[in-house]
Structure 1
Amino acid sequence: MIQLKSVLTLVAVATLAACTTLGPNYQTPAANAPAAYRAAAPAAGAELQRDWWLMFGDAQLDALQAQALRASPTLAAAAARIERARAVFGATQADRLPRVDVGASAGGLRTSAKATTTPVLQGRPVTFEGETFGLSASIGWELDLWGRVKRQAESAQAQLDAATTDAAAARVALTADVAASYWQWRALADEATALQALRDSRAKAFQVAQTRFDAGSSTMQDLERVRAELAAADADVADLPRRQALVLNQLAALTGQAAAELKLDAKPLAAPPQIRAGLPSELLQRRPDLAQSLAQLHAATAQVGIAEAAFYPSIKLTGSFGYSSEDLGSLISAPARLYNFGPSISLPLFEGGRNKANLASAKAQVDESLAGFRGRMLQALREVDDALAELQGRAAVVDAQNRTLNSAGQALTVARSRYDKGAVSYLDVTEAERTPLATARALAQLRGAQWVATAQLVKALGGGWSSPRDASGA
């Protein structure tokens, strides 16, 4: 009967434990995103996928991205953080279940005849000597009356979500940086071609100017001006390998290999394709760093419930059952049976303000996490606007430079025609070459800037990641 009453008591207390959860429940804060981006966003364009770089059909870029994803220590560290967070979550889940231990013991026993506590019978000390054997099982379970354990599991799950989205954000950043460096290297190769043509033209102009000066048909000022232009072109040509090496070194570091191992083929860059930016409100589903920030806010909110539960009583159910006997043969028998069970209650009466301080700290952490999310949201909006403005502005400049190139090309054609007819000298032809060759170099630089801005837009839009709530996979 006593056992039945105890069981009924445990059931009643366990039912009560499932009814109360302290602390605020997490709610996703409003993003407060504008209706549209400030910069003009293309209404149509390519939709980013998880492996977004495949849309460009560049096998060389694909290989670099695969190498980076395999060798990046940043991604390896992010994966380790996921495993650590998963282990913590598993440990908190275990706290919700009873703990069961079993044990066995065997040993000899003899009490002292000289000890103060030795009993005395008829003037003689009574000692005990023999063997003892035991088997036991114990159980312990903390009743989650106030939802402390539940909130711990909730916080651990949110931390696991944060670690997962942190890894996704690292992947987006890495692949965007690899693409930006690769496109920058290709743009430098295009610039090198244009720059070499400009240098060759300046060299021819200097030869003509030298010949005319030697013949007395031009002044020293004209000769030195052309010499200075050739020297400037030589300086640009000499500086280009340094710039290319720095970009190549960066690309090698991103892909986890030595720069000497990188063997790339230079191919001219065309205009980058348009990428659909979508609406600002979609960033919450598109950017893993925003999802990470929300997960951290969720974890902080759960910690408030944990801190509040510290003000309330803690009830633990403990019990043990086993056998103890001096004779191994009679160990498993009714007379050798022993057990005890029952609840234990602890109530905090004086903590020196510790619980109040912990609660205040938890609430402050929520405020900090909320402010961090809002700041990150503003930063995300700015990054998209910056990338769109960069692409829009570069496109306008490219259009103007193309018009310049067309007009300068026509002027060069006229100059060559007049030279063929003997109306002008070759120096006039080289002068006419100045604008189209310089414009070709500027266009190579602008094209590279467009592609780098494309990589920045990809990163700002989340690189094809989508929230697991809306699409599978991260």
Structure 2
Amino acid sequence: MNAKFLLTLTLSAALAACTTLGPNYQAPAANAPAAYRAPAATAGAELQRDWWLMFGDAQLNALQAQALQASPTLAAAAARVQRARAVFGATRADELPRVDVGANAGGLRTSGRATTTPVLQGHPVVFDGETFGLSASIGWELDLWGRVKRQAESAQAQLDASTLDAAAARVALTADVAAAYWQWRALADEAAALQRLRDSRAQAFRVAQTRFDAGASTTQDLERVRAELAAADADVADLPRRQALVMNQLAALTGQPASELKLQATGTLPLPPAIRAGLPSELLQRRPDLAQSLAQLHAATAQVGIAEAAFYPSIRLTGSFGYSSEDLGSLLSAPARLYNVGPSLSLPLFEGGRNKANLAASKAAVEESLAAFRGRMLQALREVDDALAELQGRAATMDAQNRTLASSSQALAVAKSRYDKGAVSYLDVTEAERTPLATERALAQLRGAQWAATAQLVKALGGGWAPATGG
């Protein structure tokens, strides 16, 4: 290690520190509209990371805790993060020198008849004995063009993308669990309304049969009531199938067999609270999948610099130091010492177009990632608009159904009053029950649809995710 080598090392390191090929990453414009197409609530609940806690439902809280602990989807996402972190660590290792040590021992005899055998005074010189060695070597690639720096930058961006993918999986999982749970609650409400409707149809059929037997009604009247009872029986019989499918979905989401999932109906499902949607421009700060898309764009941009660096020479500083002796006792003596230091240079002259193709591919990957981000942004805007439109439409339909229920309930009260006075038969009362009971079932379905739209909105808004602000 002489002064010339140290000077070369110093100058090369200084050059490596100031040269980085390839474009620097810049986040693209989101091009978000000023407002959503569907009317959005300007006031309402703000989503937090564990957003489901705001509803105060113990069963939902337990399901979410089970899902976060046992979901195979989240476990796979966590494993991808660990793999990306390991790749990043391996990439960072290229920034540091590599040091190896070794030792050897063995017997040695050279040939006396080889063409390379030395000859002294007409006689071949043969070496025969033992040899021992101890050595250390060091190698370091000077990052003249920023290739190693861009590799670390790309690996860091891929690690960020994996972490954000795990966050997006958490948002999707918790929203899906809540949607399935609320659907189960809505089915329980619908089952109660449907049973009341079926009981009313059964009573109507008994009255119609009595009237028919007494000759007071026609076969057509009897069969019409019979058909309505059969339709109600079919709906009641189909309900367990629908409930089982939802329970199976919940079991899969929470990572447990369906036979082990037990839920209890806890009263009529109320109307969901309003959730503040915010502005479209806020989606970049609210949705981890959009941030993940930008991280993938960042990684692809760094790959361009790596591809460009392949066109330029690479310099590697290498050195070795050690001892070699035929006698183990004198292995560490000064005469047994040996070393070798110096730089090595590699310059690509002919690659058959490989480097040009790799550069073109990396640039195309940047364009692909940019288009993917823009497409994901449009999809995010659509998902929020869809959820808001669903909530608005369901609310309008529910308002109309509530008016229907009020009017039909009033008509039922009139029919019962007239029956009490002997003005109409009980069949008229059961006929008047048809509309309010059917409306109650429709309202149960509408409440379930509103909660499903709420879960959709939570998912579209990023489920309370926020970018990390710490170092």
Aligned to 2:442: 442
Alpha-carbon separation, structure 1, partners of 2:357 and 2:441: 64
Q: Give the TM-score normalised by the residue count of structure 2.
A: 0.98
Alignment of 1:236-275 (within 5 A): 236-267=235-266, 268-275=268-275
- CA deviation profile, 1:184-213 (whole Å, cap 9, x unmatched): 011011001000000110111111111111
Alpha-carbon separation, structure 2, partners of 1:395 and 1:300: 45
Aligned to 1:364: 364
Aligned to 1:136: 135
- CA deviation profile, 1:85-136 (whole Å, cap 9, x unmatched): 0011001100001111111222221112233322333443221112222221
Alpha-carbon separation, structure 2, partners of 1:79 and 1:314: 37
Alpha-carbon separation, structure 2, partners of 1:124 and 1:72: 80
SS in 2 for 1:199: helix
Alpha-carbon separation, structure 1, partners of 2:336 and 2:447: 89
SS in 2 for 1:320: strand
Aligned to 1:197: 196
Amino acid at match of 2:18: C
Alpha-carbon separation, structure 2, partners of 1:277 and 1:410: 38
Aligned to 1:27: 26
Comparing 227-236 with 150-159, greater Cα deviation is found at 227-236
Amino acid at match of 1:303: Q
* Deviation, structure 1 residue 323: 1.5
Q: Give the TM-score normalised by the residue count of structure 1.
A: 0.97
Aligned-pair identity (%):
86
Alignment of 1:51-130 (within 5 A): 51-130=50-129
Alpha-carbon separation, structure 1, partners of 2:115 and 2:137: 33
1:321 aligned to 2:305? Answer: no
Alpha-carbon separation, structure 1, partners of 2:470 and 2:42: 26
Alpha-carbon separation, structure 1, partners of 2:381 and 2:131: 74
* Deviation, structure 1 residue 327: 2.2
Alignment of 1:410-425 (within 5 A): 410-425=410-425
SS in 2 for 1:141: strand
Alpha-carbon separation, structure 2, partners of 1:253 and 1:105: 58
Alpha-carbon separation, structure 1, partners of 2:259 and 2:109: 78
Alpha-carbon separation, structure 1, partners of 2:117 and 2:143: 45
Aligned to 2:280: 280
Alpha-carbon separation, structure 2, partners of 1:6 and 1:279: 60
Alignment of 1:155-174 (within 5 A): 155-174=154-173
What count of residue pairs does the alignment treat as equivalent? 470
Aligned to 2:40: 41
Distance 1:16 1:472, change over 3 A: closer
Aligned to 2:289: 289
Amino acid at match of 2:321: F
SS in 2 for 1:101: strand
* Deviation, structure 1 residue 472: 5.7
Aligned to 2:398: 398
SS in 2 for 1:235: helix
Runs of 5+ in structure 2 lacking a partner?
Answer: none
* Deviation, structure 1 residue 407: 1.1
Amino acid at match of 2:17: A
- CA deviation profile, 1:405-445 (whole Å, cap 9, x unmatched): 11111111111111111111111111110110000000000
Alpha-carbon separation, structure 2, partners of 1:266 and 1:97: 62
SS in 2 for 1:228: helix
Alpha-carbon separation, structure 2, partners of 1:331 and 1:228: 105
Comparing 422-431 with 119-128, greater Cα deviation is found at 119-128
Aligned to 1:466: 466
- CA deviation profile, 1:116-161 (whole Å, cap 9, x unmatched): 3223334432211122222211110000000000000000000000
Comparing 418-427 with 322-331, greater Cα deviation is found at 322-331
Alpha-carbon separation, structure 2, partners of 1:259 and 1:346: 62
SS in 1 for 2:377: helix
* Deviation, structure 1 residue 266: 1.1
Runs of 5+ in structure 1 lacking a partner?
Answer: none
* Deviation, structure 1 residue 215: 1.1
1:223 aligned to 2:237? Answer: no
Alignment RMSD (CA, Å): 1.2
SS in 2 for 1:297: helix
Amino acid at match of 1:414: V
Alpha-carbon separation, structure 2, partners of 1:343 and 1:246: 68
* Deviation, structure 1 residue 325: 1.8
Alpha-carbon separation, structure 1, partners of 2:257 and 2:119: 85
SS in 2 for 1:152: helix
Aligned to 1:375: 375
